[in-house]
Amino acid sequence: MSKRDYYDILGVSKGSSADEIKKAYRKMAIKYHPDKNPGDKASEDKFKEAAEAYEILSNAEKKQRYDQYGHAGVGGAGGGGYGGGGMNMDDIFSNFGDVFGGHNPFESFFGGGGQQRGGRRVTKGTNLRIKVKLTLEEIAHGAEKKIKVNKLIACKTCDGSGAKDKSSVSTCSTCGGSGQVRRVTNTILGQMQTASTCPTCNGNGEQITSKCTSCHGEGVVRGEETITINIPAGVSEGMQLSMSGKGNAAQNGGIPGDLIILIEESAHETLKREGNNVVYDLHLSFVDAALGTSIEVPTIDGKAKIKIEPGTQSGKLLRLKGKGLPEVNSYHRGDEIIHINIWTPKALSSDERDVLENLRDSANFKPQPGKNDKSFFERMKEYFE
């Protein structure tokens, strides 16, 4: 299909000024606007065609290429750019700000924004917020939570319509079902049909003569729904997840709101979270530290056995690689870091006291920190940066 000449589309000549082109486009945009011609495919095509022509002719550089090479110069025959399927409606509407000098008549007269554009107003339910508390194990592996939520749900008696039965719903007599009332006004751009939301039906195009008794015509009632929430591994305190359409139901069969899930962490008995790492404070007897041993420590995945080398110093950090928490949407997993604390006995029997007294002056028991022993901060840096 060969494309029509852009100048012909807007009804202007090649020598027209930018102002004349803009004026011509305004006229076309108003004439073929989809809100004025609901359901009319031919008008919609004309509307798009005019927008495409204006897009090219209002841009000095594109206009020059078009003048020189025709459609081929501006992405022409079925190729990319605006050549193929024409312009996207949202692009067209978003350009109206420029075309109508910052005042887009359709915003106010036709309720230009999103859900209302087709005529009838669609109501949206409110968002619902809930808190979900997770253990460290659930955070590590992800969790499926079934949660009973108290919210507005569609009325079962009337199926959300708010009407007593089918015969008590009729087309709104004020607006004839379009959801909008129109009137003709004179503006600087000529005579224009304007529309506003129908006050009788609030824009939904229907009138209820007899209300549902369960919901008093609201279409929604307070109720409970059990919602299954899949929480990905690696979430953290304060994070918010959103499930669209799981919030409060909307009145008169509109779109339900979203469910916003706020993540909370419950404290673990022995492990502490530091970002994606978990930290465990291991208290070791001074004898085990001196002689070495093997000992069980808790991890998110159960117990793990670790080896304590003879002569282990207090403050040493051991790392269990990959035993920490995953990152959301990533295979990377943090580590478990074991912080060694040497336990000093708080009470001693007289026998124990004797043994230790004998060791007091032994050369091996005198602290001998070496130059190579790292400071606490150096160790922390090494593990957390």
Q: Are strands 271-274 and 277-285 parallel, antiparallel or unpaired?
A: antiparallel
Considering only 27-35, 146-154, 171-179, 232-240, which stretch makes contact with Zn ion by CB under 5 A? 171-179
User: Residue 276, annotated ligand binder?
Assistant: no
Under the binding rule (CB under 5 A), the answer on residue 201 touching Zn ion is: yes
User: Minimal distance in Å, beta carbon 241 to Zn ion?
Assistant: 31
Cα–Cα distance for residue pair 53/25, rounded to 1 Å: 9
* Binding region for Zn ion (CB under 5 A) out of 165-173, 239-247, 263-271, 276-284: 165-173
Q: How many residues bind Zn ion (CB under 5 A)?
A: 12
Interaction pattern, residues 111-150, with Zn ion; x per rule: CB under 5 A: ----------------------------------------
- Cα–Cα dist 342/272, whole Å: 19
CB 202 within 8 A of CB 121: yes
Joined tokens for residue 292: 């070495």
Residue from 116, 197, 200, 293 touching Zn ion (CB under 5 A): that is 200
Could you say whether residue 157 binds Zn ion (CB under 5 A)? yes
| Structure-token match 């291991």, residue found | 282
Selected from 214, 236, 293, 314, the binder of Zn ion by CB under 5 A is 214
Give the shortest CB-106-to-Zn ion separation in angstroms.
20
**% helix, strand, coil for the chain, step of 5:** 30, 30, 45
As a whole number of angstroms, the distance between CA 43 and CA 191 comes to: 18
Q: Which stretch binds Zn ion (CB under 5 A): 90-98, 127-135, 204-212, 321-329?
A: 204-212
Among 10, 21, 215, 340, binds Zn ion (CB under 5 A): 215
Q: 311-333: buried (b, 16+ CB within 10 Å) or exposed (e) per residue?
A: ebeeebbbebeebbbbbbeeeeb
Residue 37 or 200 having the CB closest to Zn ion = 200
Stretch that binds Zn ion, among 73-81, 135-143, 175-183, 369-377 (CB under 5 A): 175-183
175 touches Zn ion by CB under 5 A: yes
Q: Does 24 bind Zn ion (CB under 5 A)?
A: no
Pick 135 or 174: Cβ nearer Zn ion: 174
Residue with tokens 């824009």: 203
Q: 78: annotated binding-site residue?
A: no
Q: Are 65 and 71 in contact (CB under 8 A)?
A: no
Structure tokens given for 291? 């002689």
Q: Of 87-95, 195-203, 242-250, 325-333, which segment contacts Zn ion by CB under 5 A?
A: 195-203
Q: Which of residues 283-342 bind Zn ion (CB under 5 A)?
A: none
Question: Binding site annotation covers 127?
Answer: no
Q: What is the nearest approach in angstroms of Zn ion to the Cβ of residue 199?
A: 8
According to the binding rule CB under 5 A, does residue 155 interact with Zn ion? yes
Positions touching Zn ion (CB under 5 A) are 155, 157-158, 172, 174-175, 198, 200-201, 212, 214-215
Residues that constitute the known binding site for Zn(2+): 155, 158, 172, 175, 198, 201, 212, 215
Give binding residues as ranges: 155, 158, 172, 175, 198, 201, 212, 215
